[in-house]
Structure 1
């Protein structure tokens, strides 16, 4: 006879019935993780690639050789030699760590790959021959003149190349250190100030009786959907008018601190209020019975217990302010003295988007500090976000 009890059999059957749903959930989570991780992995790989290869092919081809249109110059005219009444320039187009094979060549930028390796290209004053291994020979009946060699265009197979050149270019750029300090100067106060204000407001909306408390909470929720771009210019004009009265300049750190505080307060108050209102009522009432004031209850009981919510909002606010470019440009401008890191990295591209390949390295340089903050406080993130969702 079977020794399986009815209860165990029922549990086993229930587990088997739920297993397809469990598998589906796991597969869905895995797909979401891959969809979010794959672009970041591609950006990370691209940040180490050679800038010429990065401009021509995607990161998924980074481990395979690629064809590139290149240009090189022959030896200087003073290296020419004369043989049988003709003047010859010879040399090698390929270098050890670059192309491995010439696919085509030409002497004009209009037709850079007109001839195949080994063919003789008829030029205006002579001939040009390039072999598959990159050896070239240019022959003229008259001596070569000029201070530089002639240009030779060629298409070659280039092996994959990785290095730290992109990071070196970003980190050694002029002003990058000052911009890093400016970003910290903007981000740290712009994260701490709204947390301090919102914590007091959240406690008041949760445990202090006042007329219009529900209306105030509704206003806070409504402010969550106000686009930043809609209020940015009015806020700047208001700050300039007030600054003109009190003699405060427009391009100061105080202005951007107040701006980020205003933009971050609605979410901060809403998030902290949900957490603080979910704290056990018995703790608050016991403290009041013992004669504690609201300030003492807030400082000694509520604030220490609310650290997960404070850390959650701190992560979001730090990430938003650190990665901000629009508010920093409006309130601080693009002067060298106050330029933040995101503005500095944008300036590296130039006005026409040159050197765009360094964006890959710039992205990982700029996220180094936010990643450090996130991994330091991430254990509090979920606890703070889910606070107040269930009771």
Structure 2
């Protein structure tokens, strides 16, 4: 009993010490756990997105198990708009969305899902469509009338001297004035360290540059692959929590650039980060392997844990790493991550994750979906190249 009491006291102290300061979260009642859903960009970008794709995606999400697993938002990214009318109102691309955005939002809502849309803090979006600069309140009212539940605001085509914190504060206030609860996603790519200022402004903020569909992009053609994003997320975990999340960008699972093993590691690490889980693939026609990854409810539960603590890297030995996330029930989610080109054995000691080595704890493998028994002092596993063994450790 003394040992269990010691573990509980230590766990409580870690929660207090690592929790973000009170009052640093946007108080709109949204995103108490990381948002889950689908965003159009990674698969369809500008040319491929249209009303049919959005409706088919909503149909698939409602029927293929994703909705039951917690996925809620169907989000249209860039290129749904063409210009502004004489009164300055945003004009919808009628070729892509002949029935307008409200009809699409109503259809998504009819499936028991939520609807999201995209804008930009500059004069134009990244795709060259009209941005919201100078039209924030007007656009927010329009989004509310359409039934928008989620807004992503990008950071392209800004004007000289434009301040990110001030710009996103204007849109936050505009969304509040609209009278509709709208989750606010800030997307300035981590360029002005938003984790330092965005907590009271947005429900989530991009902490990194855009993700690319590769494991290690620096070794292939450049950009932010999974491994680059892992390193960018390490060290900013104290700024995330219920209602305000570090966002490592949308998922690339199922888009073809990575192996099943790499995709499984990608999804595991996003869950360990308490990251928004926004699928970016064709969910209507996804493979069995992709579906198995996106619908792993035990891994999703790690992401959605009520404590809302972002995981952190606790040990690194070359390309072999251990990441740990404290959970609301006193347990730990642990990722044994192998970034190397060959399979390797990775061992975690209980002292690495905040427990005494004398502790006996149950261990469950979240991808094998099986208990591996009571372990004292630590746990070891063979981890494939570019892969992960993800476990839950429970005293």
TM (normalized to structure 2)? 0.22
TM-score (norm 1): 0.22
Which structure has the larger Rg over C-alpha atoms? 1
From the two aligned structures, give the one with the greater strand fraction: 2
Instruction: Say which structure is richer in helix.
Output: 1
Give the structure, 1 or 2, with the largest relative contact order (CA under 8 Å, sep 6 or more).
1
